[in-house]
A and B are shown apart, each in its own frame.
Chain A
Amino acid sequence: MSALEIRNIQKRYGDVETLKGIDIALESGEFLVLLGSSGCGKSTLLNIIAGLAEPSGGDILIGERSILSAHPKDRDIAMVFQSYALYPDMSVARNIGFGLEMRKVPAAEREKAVRDTARLLQIENLLDRKPSQLSGGQRQRVAIGRALVRNPRVFLFDEPLSNLDAKLRMEMRTELKRLHQMLKTTVVYVTHDQIEAMTLATRIAVMRDGRIEQLGTPAEIYDRPATLYVAGFVGSPPMNILDAEIVGHQVRIARSDEVLPLPRDFKRTTVSSGPVKVGIRPEALRLADFGASGARLIADVEVMELTGPELVTTATIGGQRITACLPPRTALATGSTQAFSFDEAALHLFDPESGRSLRAA
Chain B
Amino acid sequence: MSANWISTRAWLLMLPLLVVMVSVIGWPLVDTVRLSFTDAKLVGTEGSFVGIANYEKMLAGSNFQRALVTTTWFAVVSVAAEMVLGVLAALLLHQQFRGRTALRALMILPWALPTVVNATLWRLIYNPEYGALNAALTQLGLIDSYRSWLGEPGSALTALIIADCWKNFPLVALIALAALQAVPRDITAAALVDGAGPFNRFRFVIMPYLAGPLLVALVLRTIEAFKVFDIIWVMTRGGPANSTRTLSILVYQEAFSFQRAGSGASLALIVTLLVTVLAAAYAALLRRAAGAA
- On chain B, the residues within 8 Å of A72 by CB distance are 189, 192-193
Q: Tell me if A50 counts as interface (CB < 8 A to partner B).
A: yes
Q: Tell me if B204 counts as interface (CB < 8 A to partner A).
A: yes
Could you write out 10 A-B pairs with CB less than 8 Å apart?
A52-B189, A52-B193, A72-B193, A73-B192, A77-B193, A79-B190, A81-B190, A85-B184, A89-B204, A146-B194
Q: Digit string of A99-117 for contact with B (CB within 8 Å is 1, else 0)?
A: 1001100000000000000
Chain A nearest Cβ from B283, distance in angstroms: 23
- On chain B, the residues within 8 Å of A88 by CB distance are 208
How far apart sit A50 and B191, CA to CA, in the bound complex (Å)?
A: 12
Q: Digit string of A31-53 for contact with B (CB within 8 Å is 1, else 0)?
A: 00000000000000001001110
Q: Tell me if B205 counts as interface (CB < 8 A to partner A).
A: yes
The residue in B195, B196, B204, B208 that gathers the most chain A C-beta atoms within 10 A of its C-beta is B195
- Main secondary structure on B side of the interface with A: helix
Q: Which of B177-195 contact A (CB under 8 A)?
A: 184, 186-187, 189-195
Q: Tell me if A82 counts as interface (CB < 8 A to partner B).
A: yes
The residue in B187, B189, B193, B204 that gathers the most chain A C-beta atoms within 10 A of its C-beta is B193
Q: Which of A71, A85, A103 contacts B187 (CB 8 A)?
A: A85
Interface residues on chain B, number (Cβ under 8 Å): 16
Q: Which of B192, B193, B205 contacts A87 (CB 8 A)?
A: B205
Q: Digit string of A223-259 for contact with B (CB within 8 Å is 1, else 0)?
A: 0000000000000000000000000000000000000
B195-A99 in contact (CB<8A)? yes
Q: Which of B186, B189, B194, B197 contacts A98 (CB 8 A)?
A: B194
- On chain A, the residues within 8 Å of B189 by CB distance are 47, 50, 52, 72, 79, 81, 85
- On chain A, the residues within 8 Å of B204 by CB distance are 87, 89-90, 98
Chain B nearest Cβ from A134, distance in angstroms: 15
Q: Tell me if B200 counts as interface (CB < 8 A to partner A).
A: yes
How far apart sit A85 and B191, CA to CA, in the bound complex (Å)?
A: 9
- B188 closest partner in A (C-beta): A85
- On chain A, the residues within 8 Å of B208 by CB distance are 87-89
How far apart sit A51 and B192, CA to CA, in the bound complex (Å)?
A: 9
Given contacts A72-B192, A73-B194, whether A85 and B186 have CB atoms under 8 Å apart is yes
Chain A nearest Cβ from B274, distance in angstroms: 33
- On chain B, the residues within 8 Å of A77 by CB distance are 193
How far apart sit A84 and B200, CA to CA, in the bound complex (Å)?
A: 20
B193-A78 in contact (CB<8A)? yes
How far apart sit A84 and B186, CA to CA, in the bound complex (Å)?
A: 8
- B204 closest partner in A (C-beta): A87
How far apart sit A165 and B197, CA to CA, in the bound complex (Å)?
A: 35
B194-A102 in contact (CB<8A)? yes
A102-B195 in contact (CB<8A)? yes
- On chain B, the residues within 8 Å of A73 by CB distance are 192-196
How far apart sit A165 and B245, CA to CA, in the bound complex (Å)?
A: 64
How far apart sit A86 and B186, CA to CA, in the bound complex (Å)?
A: 9
The residue in A51, A88, A90 that gathers the most chain B C-beta atoms within 10 A of its C-beta is A88
Top 4 closest pairs, chain A to chain B, by CB: A73-B195, A85-B186, A99-B194, A102-B195
Q: Tell me if A185 counts as interface (CB < 8 A to partner B).
A: no
- On chain A, the residues within 8 Å of B186 by CB distance are 81-85
How far apart sit A146 and B194, CA to CA, in the bound complex (Å)?
A: 9
- A156 closest partner in B (C-beta): B193
Given contacts A88-B208, A102-B196, whether A83 and B184 have CB atoms under 8 Å apart is yes
Chain B nearest Cβ from A301, distance in angstroms: 48
**A85-B187, A98-B194, A99-B193 known, 20 other contacts, Cβ within 8 Å:** A47-B189, A50-B189, A52-B192, A73-B193, A79-B193, A81-B189, A81-B190, A84-B186, A85-B184, A85-B189, A87-B204, A87-B205, A89-B204, A90-B204, A98-B191, A102-B196, A102-B197, A102-B200, A103-B195, A146-B190
Chain A nearest Cβ from B98, distance in angstroms: 14
How far apart sit A103 and B191, CA to CA, in the bound complex (Å)?
A: 12
- B196 closest partner in A (C-beta): A102
Chain B nearest Cβ from A224, distance in angstroms: 36
B195-A87 in contact (CB<8A)? no
